[in-house]
A and B are shown apart, each in its own frame.
Chain A
């Protein structure tokens, strides 16, 4: 079956513009996570969705970042007024259930470059 997909694979934008990044999780997976990897860093947790529960936004670095998940499936991460420090690879992951024994499956990521 299909894995986690993300689009676009690459995005170059100018400072101050807004961007939207899309994630299609594995069908049937109820938990969805966003992470980002800045150059030379590990993956940094951003936000978590589980079913109809309120998302855990504790990792979002500023109020310029927001995310939504429509219909319990596709998710969009929006960055408003982008800054150069937002340049990173943004990774989406999904898991079947939010259990401690469950594996998170990652998409290929979106490489965002803010000029």
Chain B
């Protein structure tokens, strides 16, 4: 059972435009959601997170929206830059004793100059 789903394996946008990456989840026990960015041959790097009690969190060009009733979150990048080209992973975190992350399969974002 895939608890975190990223249904778009890839997305291509033009530089300067908005990139919208989507993520759906099934586990209502997630208390935090995170987005990680991964370049080839590197480990994922933390990008932005949102608590399950909030519906929006913004950090510079990056904004994450959470719709709990729809069990859906999205990452908006505006304006998109070529350096944003990477694989983006959505993850849900269970509260409790270990805070392990459950990841989606990722979306490859390509920002064209």
Say whether A100 contacts B32, CB under 8 Å.
yes
Beyond A108-B41, A108-B43, whether A40 also contacts B105 by CB under 8 A is yes
> Cβ of A31: which chain B residues have Cβ within 8 Å of it?
99
Chain B positions 74 through 113: 1 when the CB is less than 8 Å from some CB of chain A, otherwise 0? 0000000000000001010101011111111110000000
Chain B positions 25 through 55: 1 when the CB is less than 8 Å from some CB of chain A, otherwise 0? 0000001100010000111111001000000
> Cβ of A65: which chain B residues have Cβ within 8 Å of it?
none
Chain A CB within 8 A of B4 CB: yes
Say whether B101 contacts A43, CB under 8 Å.
yes
Chain B CB within 8 A of A1 CB: no
Beyond A103-B46, A109-B43, whether A59 also contacts B100 by CB under 8 A is yes
Say whether B97 contacts A56, CB under 8 Å.
yes
- CB-based nearest A residue for B100: A45
Chain A positions 77 through 110: 1 when the CB is less than 8 Å from some CB of chain B, otherwise 0? 0000000000000010101001111111111110
Cβ contact of A43, chosen from B32, B42, B89, B93, cutoff 8 A: B89
Say whether A56 contacts B100, CB under 8 Å.
yes
Say whether A91 contacts B44, CB under 8 Å.
yes
- A29-46, CB < 8 A from B: 31, 33, 35, 40-45
Bound CA span A108–B43, Å = 4
Say whether B100 contacts A43, CB under 8 Å.
no
Cβ contact of B98, chosen from A4, A48, A105, cutoff 8 A: A48
Other A-B contacts than A31-B99, A50-B98, 6 sampled, CB-CB below 8 A, are: A35-B101, A95-B99, A98-B98, A99-B99, A100-B32, A108-B42
Closest 4 CB pairs of A and B: A106-B43, A42-B103, A43-B103, A45-B100
Interface residues of A (CB under 8 A from B): 4, 31, 33, 35, 40-45, 48, 50, 56, 59, 91, 93, 95, 98-109
